[in-house]
Amino acid sequence: MFSLQNNTAVITGAGSGIGKAIALLFAKQGAIVHLPELKEETALETLQEILNAGGKGYAYACDITQPAMVADMMQQVGTFDLLVNCAGIAHVGTATSTTPEDFNRIFQVNVAGTYHCLHYGIPILIKRGGGAIVNMASIAALTGIPDRFAYSMSKGAVHAITMSVARDYLKNNIRCNSISPARVHTPFVDGFIAKNYPGKEKEMFAQLAASQPMGRMGTVTEVAQLALYLCSDAASFISGNDYPIDGGFIHLSH
């Protein structure tokens, strides 16, 4: 069960955090993984871990905000079965404090970047007779999170994109779902705390962890396991759904 033997996956954002955990797990389950990353050296670090563990994969330098780079990367990959759109950036701010530049930057990476991968990736899946797509949304797409205006906008778009793709390509045997994590402990979280709350790291970490009803943050492995399920044959009857993985945040917080 959950074997990805004889599968090839394209996973964006695999240089760190959730994307990296997904790449490592998919390779462990037998998939050949293709890792496009903004900085090729971070993709190569993940790839090295995969190769060391006996897995197979390839790394690419690819800025997903640039359509031509994505088209070129997809051409190099050739054919694949699974697409995981995990690359994304965060932003802190309200509608009034978010600058037009920041708004556009978040849109370009989180929304346009996802679109570019779908635009150039879906024809490949159609040609090979189908496949599975997982997009990384967020609980910010489903509920109000303070000071996350641009980020919420982008993840709401990813959620809607997922439903649209699932509907449009059902006849092509392509399944498309999204995952909406709550706060997950990644290097980004540590960096965010260190930058914004110097000297109060432990206190802030505890505060952020306590904001989930389960009293802790999620782990990257937990999110990766959900992505594995959705991309595996075990989920062959599932498309057009979003899966919150949130420690009870959406329904048990109030």
Catalytic annotation present for 151: yes
Q: Are the C-beta atoms of residues 2 and 25 closer than 8 Å to each other?
A: no
**Which one from 60, 115, 120, 151 is the annotated catalytic residue?**
151
Contacts of range 127-131, beta carbons closer than 8 Å, 24 or more positions apart? 127/79, 128/79, 128/80, 128/81, 129/173, 130/172, 130/173, 130/174, 130/175, 131/80, 131/81, 131/82, 131/83, 131/173, 131/174, 131/175
| CA–CA dist 226, 207 (Å, integer) | 26
State how far the alpha carbon of 250 is from the alpha carbons of 142, 144, 216, 238, in Å: 8, 10, 15, 22
Q: Shortest CA distance to 114 belongs to which of 13, 33, 20? A: 13
Q: Are the C-beta atoms of residues 147 and 93 closer than 8 Å to each other?
A: yes
Q: Which residues are catalytic?
A: 151
